């Protein structure tokens, strides 16, 4: 890891099933930063993450990692540089939690340092608050527990680039803050972290760079304060909002319309 830019996208387009999902995407993703990607459902956020992971082929433009075309990185090399948390977190067989997290060490198996692998797995379990679940069957866990175990597997992969697709979707309030805190600490250690999220208020608290994707294009990118304006949010989501400064984050609050149901009465 070094100072500067980890990944660069220029003029990136992506088609899925004959439909254009991304178009003319330009982005610089710095080392030592958390980039949060937000936008409406179906805007292309997960496809963008797949392009960054090398799992989605681009139909136009270029994607580079450390100055080299991403397509030039072969499987094992790429697996040592980037780790990906997808929205799908199912495991077919009855592996234990510890075994699932240890799968993150697979790209490093030729180094054959079992003690080091075990230490990394233990630390990943601890950091995601699932150490007490280590001997449980993964398939027996709740959705939120599975999400944290899947994040632990990503952390065990120990890569410089970490790509997280809606990592807090199934989590309660405490674990949501803890997971995003993990992302923040990874960035402070010099890594490049990209998170797809829906909650604009949480995004504003943890993002160094906030990217709004709308209809396959980058509609805005910059600091949360620059990007999250009421006018831009209404234009993107079709919903009027108010934006309030609350300490180190912005609170994005939808406005109640005349047709909205009244709040419940007390008593």
Among the listed ranges 51-65, 72-86, 213-227, which one has the minimum average pLDDT value? 72-86
Mean pLDDT, the chain, integer = 92
Q: Are 29 and 210 in contact (CB under 8 A)?
A: no
- Asked if 83 contacts 103 with a C-beta cutoff of 8 angstroms, the reply is no
Cβ contacts of residue 9 below 8 Å, gap of 6+? 25, 26, 27, 28, 29, 51, 52, 61, 62, 63
- Which of the four pLDDT bands, split at 50, 70 and 90, describes residue 237? very high
Q: How far apart are CA 180 and CA 167, in angstroms?
A: 8
Q: Are 58 and 71 in contact (CB under 8 A)?
A: no
Q: How far apart are CA 67 and CA 88, in angstroms?
A: 30
pTM: 0.92
Domains, the chain:
5-239 (3.40.50.300)
Asked if the model's pLDDT at residue 74 lies above 60, the reply is: yes
Q: Determine the pLDDT at residue 248.
A: 81
SS3 16: strand
Mean pLDDT of 131-153: 95
Report the distance separating Cα 182 and Cα 62, nearest Å. 30
Whole-number Cα distances in Å, 121 to 32, 63, 147, 248: 23, 31, 16, 33
Residue percentage of the chain with pLDDT more than 90: 81
Comparing C-alpha atoms, which of 237, 175, 239 is closest to residue 212? Answer: 237
pLDDT higher than threshold 60 for residue 259 = no
pLDDT at residue 24, rounded to an integer = 97
Task: Give the pLDDT confidence score for residue 3 in this predicted structure.
Answer: 67
Are 85 and 182 in contact, with CB atoms under 8 Å apart? no
Lowest mean pLDDT among 65-79, 142-156, 222-236: 65-79
The yes-or-no verdict on residue 75 having pLDDT over 80 is yes
Residue 256 pLDDT class (50, 70, 90 cuts) = confident
Give the residue ranges of DSSP H helices in 134-250. 143-157, 173-188, 200-206, 224-227, 230-237
Q: What is the pLDDT of residues 154-210, one digit of tens each?
A: 999 999 999 999 999 989 999 999 999 999 999 999 999 999 999 999 999 999 999
The pLDDT value given to residue 115: 83
Q: How many other β-carbons are positioned within 10 Å of the β-carbon of residue 99? A: 17
- pLDDT at residue number 59: 96
Mean pLDDT of the 133-148 span: 95
Q: For residue 262, how many other CB atoms are within 10 A of its CB? A: 6
């Amino acid at each position: 890891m070094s100072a500067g830019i980890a990944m660069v996208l220029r003029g990136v387009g992506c088609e899925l099933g004959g439909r254009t999902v991304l178009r003319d995407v330009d982005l610089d993703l710095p080392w030592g930063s958390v980039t949060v990607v937000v936008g409406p459902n179906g805007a292309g956020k997960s496809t963008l993450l797949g392009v960054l992971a090398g799992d989605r082929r681009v139909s136009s433009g270029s994607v580079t990692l450390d100055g080299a075309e991403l397509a030039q990185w072969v499987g094992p090399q790429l697996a040592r540089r980037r780790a990906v948390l997808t929205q799908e977190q199912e495991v077919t067989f009855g592996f234990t939690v510890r075994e699932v997290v240890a799968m993150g060490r697979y790209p490093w198996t030729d180094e054959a340092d079992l003690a080091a692998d075990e230490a990394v797995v233990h630390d990943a379990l601890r950091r995601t608050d699932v150490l007490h679940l280590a001997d449980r069957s993964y398939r027996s866990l709740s959705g939120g527990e599975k999400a944290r175990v899947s994040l632990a597997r990503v952390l065990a992969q120990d890569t410089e680039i970490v790509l997280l697709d809606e990592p807090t979707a199934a989590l309660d309030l405490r674990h949501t803050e803890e997971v995003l805190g993990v992302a923040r600490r990874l960035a402070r250690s010099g890594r490049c972290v990209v998170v797809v999220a829906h909650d604009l208020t949480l995004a504003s608290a943890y993002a160094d760079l906030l990217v709004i994707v709308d209809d396959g294009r980058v509609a805005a990118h910059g600091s949360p304060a620059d990007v999250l304006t009421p006018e831009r949010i209404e234009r993107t989501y079709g919903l009027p909002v108010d934006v309030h400064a609350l300490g180190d984050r912005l609170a994005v609050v939808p406005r109640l319309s005349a047709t909205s149901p009244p709040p419940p009465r007390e008593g």
